Amino acid sequence: MRGDGAALFIVSLPHFWLFARNPRHAIAFSAAAAAATVAGSIRHQGWHAEEFFTGNVTFTLIGWVAGVLIGLGMVRVVEQSDERARRLSSELESTQLRLAEAHRLQGATEERERLAREIHDTLAQGFASIIVLAEAARSSLGTDPGRSAQHLVSIENTARENFAEARVLVGSAP
């Protein structure tokens, strides 16, 4: 049947591109297959110039040229796609690093805020008590020294409690 060799060659063209190691090998192998198809066609049908341009030989050569052009185009598309994937992967990695840094900073900020609330809730109240007790001790110093002494003991105890609380807050409690 006329055209069977060319048809088989055309159908097999994508395989050269799929299984070759690189475009150069695909072109070489497909050229060898095209040459074998042309040689087989000439051997089978003989050499007739009028059939050369209308039969298997012409379809084989046109198919090979089209296959090479399409193959090279697809190689280019795949290379561009691979480059885009590498670029996107790099951008993703960079974004993940920035996100991790943002989470770390957010954690540090939240810890500072928690520590500030703890300081306000515990130490600030203790310091306020010390101030009130010191004012009371000063005001009763001339009239009731015993009462002033009690206030000074309370100031000392509150200061010790605040000191212990501060050590707990910063994680260095004994």
- 146 and 63, same domain (yes or no): no
Owner of token pair 């110093």: 141
DSSP state of 142: T
pLDDT of residue 52: 55
Q: Which of 42-46, 80-84, 153-157 has the highest mean pLDDT?
A: 80-84
Percent of the chain scoring above 90 in pLDDT: 37
Q: Is the pLDDT of residue 134 over 60?
A: yes
Residue 130 forms part of a structural domain: yes
- 67 and 32, same domain (yes or no): yes
Region 66-75 average pLDDT:
94
What's the domain count of the chain? 2
Are 56 and 41 in contact by the 8 Å Cβ rule? The answer is: yes
- 12 and 67, same domain (yes or no): yes
The band of 87, judged by pLDDT with boundaries at 50, 70 and 90, is: very high
pLDDT of residue 53: 56
Q: Is the pLDDT of residue 169 over 80?
A: no
Q: Single out the residue of 31, 4, 5 nearest to residue 16, CA to CA.
A: 31
Report the distance separating Cα 156 and Cα 169, nearest Å. 20
Q: Is the pLDDT of residue 29 over 80?
A: yes
The band of 83, judged by pLDDT with boundaries at 50, 70 and 90, is: very high
Residue 65 forms part of a structural domain: yes
- Among candidate residues 45, 66, 95, the one where a domain is terminated: 95
- 124 and 74, same domain (yes or no): no
pLDDT of residue 86: 97
Contacts of 149 (CB under 8 A, 6+ apart): none
Q: Is the pLDDT of residue 1 over 60?
A: no
- 18 and 84, same domain (yes or no): yes
Q: The domain containing residue 32 runs over which residues? A: 4-95
Region 128-151 average pLDDT:
88
Region 97-114 average pLDDT:
92
Owner of token pair 């309370």: 154
